Structure 1
């Protein structure tokens, strides 16, 4: 197991998941603004490790098979867990989360088939835009209490719908390209 700085940043993103889940359960029980904002801050910091680990890995030539496996897994665990919690708390409709998680499973399965054939399918620009939009949507949804008279939740929902569109488009794009480039070649 290669634990370098990039992989440790990715692991930090994974370890942030239970912290955020506990904060959200506590916030629901206590209805405390501080816990909502704390969960949003922890999520935002965890999301930033996604950019940081990739930057460090490329800059210091620390790209490893462990990192290639953990990085997309960490993204899915972080975003998926928060989305599921937002459904549990009644802040997001379940169908949105079902579409997002189904896309993630479909693309992950496709990547597994490609990996079995010795091909690594990296995230494309639409997949990266999707992840950024999802992260940007979840911060204001987590910090759902008004601050200085501004309610962040409607902005979060708007960005989540944009992220949903990118999620569906990027998933379709991955699957189309996979079919066109790999399956038709057989």
Structure 2
């Protein structure tokens, strides 16, 4: 197990920590959740950079990098749905897309084909992560910043929340678009022998 893969896999337990902190009410919990999320986002870029820099690029790393992104997004989306901050239909579209593409990746891998994330998939993931960052930032402002800030931050909090939701809507459209691109590009691999 090399350093890039350790950074990649660390995002899975950190997702559980972040979600747990989302339900804590003590001062600083929301800020800790937000900054751990930022650390995960930085790690998402750092693991690939280190793998290329150190010559440690592997099929395992490519697959797990994409998979841990999905685990992070799905875990947070479920928590935000539970907290009534992301509409259920958007969450269902996101979940369906991720399971379909992950299943297709597994089919491709069984045939010796590695389906790495393309620019469309990376744009989708980046948009979703930025949106989730804003959604995590809203309670940080409302709970932690407001504790020390003498003025009312409710309007600012509302705008941070709205930006996060709008970003997630955009990310949902990108998820559908990039998913269609994967299916179109690799349909020969995915559906070869499907009617046998």
Normalising by structure 1, report the TM-score: 0.88
Question: Residue 18 of structure 1 corresponds to which residue in structure 2?
Answer: 16
Larger Rg, first or second structure (1 or 2) = 2
User: Greater CA deviation, 9-18 or 146-155?
Assistant: 146-155
Question: Residue 107 of structure 1 corresponds to which residue in structure 2?
Answer: 101
Per the TM alignment, residue 72 of structure 1 is displaced from its structure 2 partner at its CA by 1.7
Per the TM alignment, residue 184 of structure 1 is displaced from its structure 2 partner at its CA by 7.3
Provide structure 1 residue ranges, at least 5 long, that are not aligned to the other structure.
Answer: none
CA contact under 8 A between 1:44 and 1:135: conserved in structure 2? Answer: no
Q: Within the alignment, does 1:48 sit opposite 2:46 as a pair? A: no
Q: 2 CA distance for matches of 1:91 and 1:129?
A: 22
* Count of residue correspondences: 179
Question: Residue 114 of structure 2 corresponds to which residue in structure 1?
Answer: 120
Q: Within the alignment, does 1:159 sit opposite 2:167 as a pair? A: yes
SS at match of 2:186: helix
User: Greater CA deviation, 67-76 or 90-99?
Assistant: 67-76
Note closer, same or farther for the CA distance 1:4–1:117 as it changes in structure 2 (3 Å cut): same
Structure 1 residue ranges, 4+ long, deviating more than 6 angstroms after superposition: none
Q: Within the alignment, does 1:77 sit opposite 2:84 as a pair? A: no
> What are the residue-to-residue correspondences of 1:106-185 with 2, within 5 Å?
106-145=100-139, 146=141, 149=153, 150-151=156-157, 152-179=160-187, 181-182=188-189
Per the TM alignment, residue 57 of structure 1 is displaced from its structure 2 partner at its CA by 0.5
What is the Cα-based RMSD across aligned positions, in Å? 1.8
CA contact under 8 A between 2:66 and 2:116: conserved in structure 1? Answer: no
Q: 1 CA distance for matches of 2:168 and 2:191?
A: 34
1:84-138 Cα shifts (integer Å, max 9, x gaps): 0001111111111111111011111111111111111111100000010000000
Q: 2 CA distance for matches of 1:45 and 1:157?
A: 21
Q: 2 CA distance for matches of 1:20 and 1:183?
A: 35
Provide structure 2 residue ranges, at least 5 long, that are not aligned to the other structure.
Answer: none
Question: Residue 39 of structure 1 corresponds to which residue in structure 2?
Answer: 33
